[in-house]
Homo-oligomer: A and B are copies of this chain.
Amino acid sequence: MRALTEIHLEEVKSIVKTGRVLTKESDRFSYSFDGSFGTFLPDAVIQTKSVEELAALVRLANRELIPLYPRGQATSLSGGPLPVKGGLVLDLSVMDHVLEVHEEDLVAVVSPGVLTADIHRAAEERGLMYPPDPSSSHVSTIGGNLAENSGGPKGLKYGVTKDYVIGLEVITPEGEIIKTGGRTVKNVTGYDLTKLIVGSEGTLGIITKAVLKLIPKPKASTTMMAIFDSLADAGKAISNMLTAGILPSKMELMDQASIIAVEQFEPLGLPVDAAALILIELDGHPAALQEEADEAAALCQSVGAREVRMPKNKSEEAELWKARKLVSPAIVRIKPTKISEDATVPRSKIPDMCKRLEKIREEYGIHLVVFGHAGDGNLHPNIICDKNDTEEMKRVEQAVEEIFKAAVELGGTLSGEHGIGLMKAPFMEMELGAAGLDMMKRIKAAWDPNNIMNPGKIFPEPGQKLELS
């Protein structure tokens, strides 16, 4: 890996004819952090809409061993876009010029800088839906969602970003422009490079265009909130719902700590003495929905729900969802630093995972809040702490490691939707084993022999450890 020299910079400027090359320290600083942890200054930042210019930059970087860091809006919670080895940041959020909906083919074609929420809107205007809905969708770019294979609450019924990507245009780490997949839902022509690249966190190339699958928008939806005196009962409700043939579009869990945090942040009439609540959204045909909602409510009551709130109209529904949306802003009021994990376990292990988390909370004396997409086992254990408190951060480090161990021991995974990035790299082998990790490394080495694409991510460096303090 090399730093950018003046000679490189001249060549960079001669390549970027239609865009901008930012080198001022104030500009570079804006690109030194993301939604996670740590600050790393790049040597320069590139903004261009031109795929050819980007490809030429990649060829230069590959020849001169300059690290490249593609980036969207940098809402990453795992350090995905952090320029940990300097080099060039490629600001792809400026590539926001393509957003086509092709109704007849049920696809959207998008450039990476388009905001995910704008895709939601464009699809809905035609009676269609792009289901993946990471919480950040109003501020995050589809390019970032693609790189990280973002999830969200609708993963339970509708799957995640990867399930909706059928074609890509990609600049390889050696600067070739290739197309993968296409506009057909079925395609078995060779290896599935599309699904390999989606979720590879920018380490295998730069996505410059994507073809997304759309589906007809469900005609109606309804919401309810079920309140429980025991976390185990809440877990049972989730599990029974699915085996009873009800597949909610969302099923979100909040534990007592999150309920209290939200209620202190903004009084919404939440039951602060409850052990847990589940927010359920059902969608589908209006003729079926009421019946299904009644069934779901009865099911919650049969496993011991203290109360099931069924809102009477859309504004009451919105009130219920507000509780879930306020969790993140509410908990950072408690302490300034939020370590947001997304360890995921098989659904049936949610109660066990909750117990393990409880134990970790006590053992390390940390402030732990648990909420998330319970329907698909994708919990969000968030540790609220203060990064200036070195002693506390040491305990947080150990607690995070314990959370990962618990998830893997319960047959789960380090990360359900946030990605490995920087913080989880040291734990890869724990989940994958040496041989499994080696097969991933072989792909990286075969595609990016000079390791210029987002170096320092996913794969642990020898002896790398989690460092928060």
Question: Do A162 and B192 have beta carbons less than 8 Å apart?
Answer: yes
Question: Are A416 and B186 CB-contacts (below 8 A) given A107-B346, A127-B243?
Answer: yes
A380 to chain B, nearest CB (A): 12
Closest chain B residue, CB of each to CB of A104: B348
A376 contact set on B, CB distance < 8 A: 184-186
Complex: how many Å from CA A445 to CA B443? 10
Residues of chain B lying within 8 A (CB to CB) of residue A267: none
Residues of B with C-beta under 8 A to A428: 189-190
**A253 interface contact, C-beta 8 A:** no
| Interface residue? A431 (CB, 8 A) | yes
User: Given A284-B284, A348-B102, A443-B191, A185 and B159 touching (CB < 8 A)?
Assistant: yes
Q: Is A463 in contact with chain B by the CB < 8 A criterion?
A: no
> Which of B217, B245, B373 has a CB less than 8 Å from the CB of A216?
B245
Given contacts A105-B346, A191-B200, A247-B215, contact A433 B179 (CB under 8 A): yes
For this complex, into which size category does the number of interface residues on chain A fall? 35 or more
Nearest Cβ distance between residue A179 and chain B, in whole angstroms?
Answer: 6
How many monomers of this protein are in the complex? 2
Q: How far is the CA of A217 from the CA of B247 in the complex (A)?
A: 10
* Chain B nearest CB, measured from A378 CB (Å): 5
In the complex, whether A155 has a CB less than 8 A from a CB of chain B is: yes
- A214 CB → nearest B CB, Å: 9
Flag whether A187 is at the interface (Cβ < 8 A): yes
CA distance A172 to B435 in the complex (A): 9
Name the one of B105, B189, B246, B415 contacting A431, with C-beta atoms under 8 angstroms.
B189
Give the chain B neighbours of A106 by CB distance below 8 A.
Answer: 242-243, 347
Contact between chains at A417 and B188 (CB < 8 Å): yes
Q: A163 at the A/B interface (Cβ < 8 Å)?
A: yes
Q: In the assembled complex, which residues on chain B have CB atoms less than 8 Å from the CB atom of A348?
A: 102, 104-105
Smallest beta-carbon distance A233→chain B, Å = 15
Binds B, one of A6-14, A64-72, A285-293, A296-304: A285-293
- Give the CA-CA distance A184 to B413 in the complex, in Å: 8
Among residues 169 to 198 in chain A, which have CB atoms less than 8 Å away from a CB atom of chain B?
Answer: 172, 176-180, 182-193, 195-196, 198
Residue A446 contacts which of B105, B190, B442 (CB distance < 8 angstroms)?
B442
Instruction: Show the binding face of A for B, using Cβ within 8 Å.
Output: 102-107, 126-128, 148-149, 151, 155-156, 159-160, 162-163, 172, 176-180, 182-193, 195-196, 198-200, 204, 215-217, 219, 239, 242-247, 284-288, 291-292, 344-348, 373, 376-378, 411-420, 424, 428, 431-433, 435-437, 439-440, 442-447, 458
